[in-house]
Chains A and B, each alone.
Chain A
Amino acid sequence: MQAGSQDRRVELTRALRDAGVTALLAFGLFLPLIGFETQQNIRNELILTTRLPLLFTIVAIVGVGRLVYSLALDPWLKQRTMRPPQATPSAWRAPVAKWFIPFSIGFVIAYPIIVVAIKGLGGAVKWVDNFGIQILIYVMLGWGLNIVVGLAGLLDLGYVAFYAVGAYSYALLAKTFGFSFWILLPLAGLLSSFWGILLGFPVLRLRGDYLAIVTLAFGEIIRIVLINWVDLTNGYAGISGIPRPTFFGISFNANDDGFAAVFGLEFSPIYRTIFLYYLILALAFLTAFVTVRLRRLPVGRAWEALREDEIACRSLGINTTNTKLTAFAMGAMFAGFAGSFFAARQGFVSPESFTFLESATILSIVVLGGMGSQIGVAIAAIVMIGGTEIMRELDFLKQIFGSAFDPTQYRMLLFGFAMVLIMIWKPRGLISSRDPSVFLKERKSISSDLVKEGHG
């Protein structure tokens, strides 16, 4: 009994000391980051102000968090690992896995209707646009990049370049020649995949880090050309007044021949938004369908084989040059589709939409979701992009932290935090096991320990 309380006291002292050290570290780290702030006064002078309450709140959170971890969470985790593993997987998994995909597809199709039913015509625009369309664009980009990074194992840090090519192709061709969206959509895809092949050629011999650096540079080159070729692209100012897509020739405006008037409805911007939602949904489904199909075709198997072992591929008579180029071209084509949709939706494009941060976001969606996994990538896109949008909705936080508090400013911090957590908990992404493309008797998913990540 005596020894027990002695033990507990030692444990408590240790936990307190740990928490103190952690809080001190947090103080040292956050003092320059959060403790000070520069602001401009009326005469445009920078003045240094301190944010000590915020600093101490964060330090306290870190310290208490560490205390809770060492006193409660850590013993619980240790105890859990001691327990023998359960022999049978829990019963709810199989039906969930079976119904998850049909349910999700049904939900995304019904989503605008549900939103309109809840929020009404006027209030639904924001929810369909910011949460529906915005997320679906990134789902599609994630699936497109997944072909290059997840299947073929080629690390591409400049994926946004192809998105930009698609967007500018649509913007320029639609404004200059007045072609319709439906002609320019495949054309933008074609032009993007052409640029994909163009990038592919010089980087064929590069692997791993070197490939990543060159693709990164390619992304920057495209962006800087867009900025500096003012005659064509109008530089930083961007291109505005891009024609919007029409519903079989009926445009979404308040005129007498507009969508609302033709169908005898009262004019509302929601119709265009819903139309765009279903458009990007169809494009995303097309991407998913083509990718699933390609995985079961020889070219898809060759991509995965390339990721596993390039030399073995060559010894089996596979032309690795062509295989890599098709991966680049396919990935770029979907980015081109997404880009032309982006331009058509915004009605405005500028180089600022195609920064490295976009590439990094798309890549992190693919990595967090699990390279090669369609569902994982979709979930990661919903969490990351939806998470950013949700933060705009957290207005009540202003009542706690004051009116100057802007939750969206913290999204990178939360991204980083989410990424660290995922990498600890599931280092190969949310859904890391690989589904074989063909089977003889029984489809067994392959553990991520065996699946290679590719060398570039």
Chain B
Amino acid sequence: MVAASDILLSVEHLTMRFGGLVAVDDLSFQARQGDITALIGPNGAGKTTVFNCITGFYKPSEGRLGLCHGDASVWSELEALTDSGKRSVTRGDGALYQLERLPDFLVTQQARVARTFQNIRLFPGMTVLENLLVAQHNRLMLASGYTLIGILGFPSYAAAERAAIDKARMWLDRVGLIERADDPAGDLPYGAQRRLEIARAMCTEPVLLCLDEPAAGLNPRESAELNALLLTIRNEYAISILLIEHDMSVVMEISDHLIVLDYGVKISDGPPEIVRNDPKVIAAYLGVADEEVAQVEAEVGL
């Protein structure tokens, strides 16, 4: 199963049941290092559930979620890790995590998977800059000696805070919000809030960035800017992105790899040009059975 040398995230047989409802049914896919992988599908297909499983907000009913840091050869440890019952294994050249075993905050803190939310979750009463500093909590907490050094006012903490502010400033520059740094996050227009949420996730220094519908509610110009931002994150920072998106202009333009879900089941998996022409995908999006696709397409003039 796990063969390719550049795999970052490997989802195997992921199943999530809520009572009698099977939201995600035996889903397996892989995301490669440095790729933008998009998870698409009609409403209610289970995309956000998959995200919540990966980021630790849900405990999957079944399945294994592996994530590797560093050299991909650590994947060879996966079976041993599973049998050992531990959360992760660290070697000299990398580390391997089983995300379903980590509580949500450790998924970000240790496995370094960051996420954004479908309905934006900023800290509206805190300034834009403060939002980005909260994202660097764990590093600053260590620098403040778990508050002890910080409260006594040692200079080492002040230096760490300056570094954190510099990092925040760099990201604010990137997303074009440097002028609004001292304004409350709740005062920003919608598109800016989306960009700030991405910048905030990036401040946690992730290896994998999970974006839940980042283009929702954006106008075409803002969508184009978002595309540029995501490509920058991938190309300059070599961070892999996992994306849920409905906006096909975003999905088709920037993704390297697509996974299509329908009713919790994977119906297609591959590069955009192949998925785009997959009759199963077209059927799912048009809401008809496979064999009716040709007829419906003719009717609507596709």
Chain A residues with CB below 8 A from B201, complex form: 315-316
Cβ A298 vs Cβ B150 within 8 A? yes
Cβ A450 vs Cβ B124 within 8 A? yes
- Answer yes or no: B184 CB below 8 A from chain A CBs: yes
- Answer yes or no: B285 CB below 8 A from chain A CBs: no
Partner of A305, one of B106, B126, B138, B140: B126
Nearest B residue to A316, CB-CB: B135
Stretch at the interface among B69-77, B92-100, B113-121, B246-254: B113-121
- Answer yes or no: B183 CB below 8 A from chain A CBs: yes
- Answer yes or no: A436 CB below 8 A from chain B CBs: yes
- The answer to whether residues A290 and B151 also contact, given A305-B126, A313-B134 and a CB cut-off of 8 A, is yes
Cβ A315 vs Cβ B123 within 8 A? no
Interface size on B, residues (CB 8 A): 48
- Answer yes or no: A17 CB below 8 A from chain B CBs: no
Cβ A446 vs Cβ B55 within 8 A? no
CA–CA, A438 to B124, complex, Å?
15
Chain B residues with CB below 8 A from A316, complex form: 105, 108, 114, 134-135, 137, 200-201, 204
Q: Mark B129-165, 1 if CB is under 8 A from A, else 0.
A: 1100111111011001011001101000100010001
Min C-beta distance of A265 to chain B, whole Å: 38
- Answer yes or no: B109 CB below 8 A from chain A CBs: yes
Partner of B151, one of A297, A313, A450: A297
- The answer to whether residues A450 and B125 also contact, given A301-B133, A317-B106, A439-B182 and a CB cut-off of 8 A, is yes
CA–CA, A314 to B184, complex, Å?
21
Chain A residues with CB below 8 A from B144, complex form: 297-299
- Answer yes or no: A82 CB below 8 A from chain B CBs: no
Cβ B130 vs Cβ A436 within 8 A? yes
Chain B residues with CB below 8 A from A443, complex form: 182
Cβ B137 vs Cβ A318 within 8 A? yes
Cβ B124 vs Cβ A444 within 8 A? no
- The answer to whether residues A447 and B184 also contact, given A315-B114, A318-B105 and a CB cut-off of 8 A, is yes
- The answer to whether residues A440 and B104 also contact, given A297-B144, A315-B114 and a CB cut-off of 8 A, is no
Within 8 A of B (CB), among A416-456: 434, 436-444, 446-447, 450-452
Chain A residues with CB below 8 A from B140, complex form: 297-298
Nearest B residue to A299, CB-CB: B147
- Answer yes or no: A129 CB below 8 A from chain B CBs: no
Cβ B123 vs Cβ A314 within 8 A? no
Min C-beta distance of A312 to chain B, whole Å: 4
Chain A residues with CB below 8 A from B186, complex form: 450
Nearest B residue to A437, CB-CB: B130
Cβ A311 vs Cβ B150 within 8 A? no
Chain A residues with CB below 8 A from B108, complex form: 314-317
Partner of B125, one of A298, A319, A326, A451: A451
Chain A residues with CB below 8 A from B127, complex form: 436, 438-439, 444, 446
Min C-beta distance of A259 to chain B, whole Å: 33
CA–CA, A440 to B125, complex, Å?
17
Cβ A301 vs Cβ B121 within 8 A? no
- Answer yes or no: A257 CB below 8 A from chain B CBs: no
Partner of A438, one of B130, B135, B137: B130
- Answer yes or no: B32 CB below 8 A from chain A CBs: no
Q: Mark A290-309, 1 if CB is under 8 A from B, else 0.
A: 10011001110110110111
- The answer to whether residues A440 and B182 also contact, given A311-B121, A312-B123 and a CB cut-off of 8 A, is yes
- The answer to whether residues A298 and B137 also contact, given A315-B108, A315-B121, A316-B204 and a CB cut-off of 8 A, is yes
Cβ B183 vs Cβ A444 within 8 A? yes
- Answer yes or no: B101 CB below 8 A from chain A CBs: no
CA–CA, A447 to B184, complex, Å?
9
CA–CA, A314 to B123, complex, Å?
12
- Answer yes or no: B59 CB below 8 A from chain A CBs: no
Cβ A301 vs Cβ B134 within 8 A? yes
Min C-beta distance of B234 to chain A, whole Å: 20
- Answer yes or no: A268 CB below 8 A from chain B CBs: no
- The answer to whether residues A434 and B125 also contact, given A316-B134, A450-B184 and a CB cut-off of 8 A, is yes
Min C-beta distance of A56 to chain B, whole Å: 49
* Pairs A-B, 3 closest by C-beta atoms: A451-B125, A317-B108, A317-B109
Query: Besides A302-B134, A312-B117, 12 other CB < 8 A contacts?
Result: A294-B147, A297-B144, A298-B133, A298-B150, A309-B121, A314-B104, A316-B105, A316-B114, A316-B200, A317-B137, A319-B109, A440-B129
